[in-house]
């Protein structure tokens, strides 16, 4: 019984942590990503949508981190139909993890 209770508490704690991370990620997205990727991740004339984005769904957290912190310009651009590349972002490790969690949630 104690093991089940401890397991339930751990699951709830992880769920709360994930929710908090996603909420922080939403704030980071709004401040840093929304101007190009659009409100609620629906895309814009400047950058692709996060909603339903197959690349975001399939990419590892490290791959997404690399794109966020290094950017993608010139020949490295993934979405050639957009005039501008992805500029490198200055985010903390925690902000990067949070925005990736939020992006993954949008991409589902």
The pTM of the full predicted model, rounded to 2 decimals, is 0.77
Q: Does pLDDT of 2 surpass 50?
A: yes
Mean pLDDT within 82-93 = 94
86 pairs with which residues across the strands?
72
Residue 105 structure tokens: 């949630």
Q: Give the pLDDT mean for 26-30.
A: 96
Q: Which pLDDT score is estimated for 77?
A: 87
**DSSP H or E run through 95:** helix 93-107
Res 22: pLDDT: 55
Residues 6+ apart with CB under 8 A from 46: 35, 36, 37, 82, 83, 84
Tens of pLDDT along 42-63?
999 999 999 999 999 999 999 9
Q: Which two three-digit tokens encode residue 27?
A: 């704030």
- CATH value of 2-107 in 1.10.1840.10, 1.10.287.70, 1.10.10.10, 1.10.760.10: 1.10.760.10
Q: Residue 47: count other Cβ atoms within 10 Å of its Cβ.
A: 19
The per-residue pLDDT for 34 is 96
First-to-last C-alpha distance (Å) of the chain: 35
Residue 84: other Cβ atoms inside 10 A:
10
Cα separation, 108 vs 11, whole angstroms: 21
């Amino acid at each position: 019984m104690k093991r089940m209770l401890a397991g339930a508490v751990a699951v709830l704690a992880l769920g709360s942590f994930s929710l908090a991370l996603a909420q922080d990620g939403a704030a980071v997205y709004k401040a840093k990503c929304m101007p190009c990727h659009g409100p609620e991740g629906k895309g814009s004339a400047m950058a692709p949508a996060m909603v339903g984005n197959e690349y975001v769904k399939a990419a590892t957290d490290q791959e997404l981190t690399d794109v966020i912190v290094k950017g993608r310009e010139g020949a490295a651009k993934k979405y050639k139909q957009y005039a501008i590349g992805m500029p490198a972002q200055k985010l903390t490790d925690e902000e990067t993890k949070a925005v990736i969690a939020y992006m993954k949630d949008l991409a589902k």
